[in-house]
Amino acid sequence: MIKSRLFSSDSRLSDLITAHPSLLSLLSRLGVSLGFGDRSIADVCEDSGVDTAFFLLICNVYTFNNYVPSTAAILGTEMTGLVPYLEKSHKYYVEKRLPHIECHLDAIAQKLNGRIGKVFISFFKEYKEEVETHFMHEERDVFPHIRGLMAGKRDATYSIGEFIDTHSDIEGKLDDLLNIVFKYLPPQVDDDNVLDVVDDILRLSEDLKKHTFIEEKIMVPLVKHLENAILKK
């Protein structure tokens, strides 16, 4: 039922972006540059060296909240782009989104009474470190494991089960921050920084939810399948 509404490869990429502008921030992470004119998704992907089915899978997951791709759909899609995509996303969050938010929070903290400002900003700094550690763990253990499996090698020291057991959510504290910023900051800091940072936090929070979703509902089933396939050999 939902399938009919999902994007297809012969839609114009520009139509997809016009309908869902938030997808714009995904393009560079998926390896597609701007300036695609009126070409179809399939054409743009081909020119950019991106697998069209994979591109559509990610865009559809980001756009439709109820869309959970079936294992068959995941296994039927060329997935070599997954790890590079996840890595680029990490980089995007750590190097672009979080510093952006921090910049606004710094400006807000200046307006708060010294020690409250300090506690406020250190709350965010701790969160940022948690996110970085979380990503680092995935980049150090999980991604090389997947690359190995895709190359037909099985590293006996790691299995995706460990990831499933330890994967924690990284959006929770962002919701805390959101509540603090728009509900509990004193009225004297009511300025553009607060509004901007609320927008930024909401955007990042949504993005991270989808990121977690992709890891848990696409990456995990894929890796389980690859692990089993190699065991059977």
Stretch that binds another protein, among 35-43, 60-68, 167-175, 208-216 (CB under 8 A): 167-175
Question: Which residue's CB is nearer to another protein, number 106 or number 139?
Answer: 106
Give yes or no for a contact between 150 and 226, defined as CB atoms under 8 angstroms apart. yes
Question: Which residue's CB is nearer to another protein, number 71 or number 179?
Answer: 179
Question: Looking at the DSSP assignment, which residues form a beta bridge with residue 40?
Answer: 12
Q: Kindly state whether residue 186 participates in binding another protein, applying the rule CB under 8 A.
A: yes
Quickly list DSSP for 122-139: HHHHHHHHHHHHHHHHII
Structure tokens that stand for 168 in this block: 């924690």
Alpha-carbon separation of residue 225 from 60, 76, 119, 151, 165 (angstroms): 22, 12, 45, 14, 17
Give yes or no for a contact between 12 and 38, defined as CB atoms under 8 angstroms apart. yes
Question: Which residue's CB is nearer to another protein, number 76 or number 186?
Answer: 186
Options 33, 71, 80, 179; binder of another protein; rule CB under 8 A: 179
Question: Which residue's CB is nearer to another protein, number 10 or number 126?
Answer: 126
Q: Kindly state whether residue 180 participates in binding another protein, applying the rule CB under 8 A.
A: yes
Q: Kindly state whether residue 134 participates in binding another protein, applying the rule CB under 8 A.
A: no
Give Cα 79 distance to the centre of its chain: 16
Question: In the complex, which residues of this chain contact another protein (CB under 8 A)?
Answer: 115-116, 119-120, 123, 126-127, 172-173, 175-180, 183-186
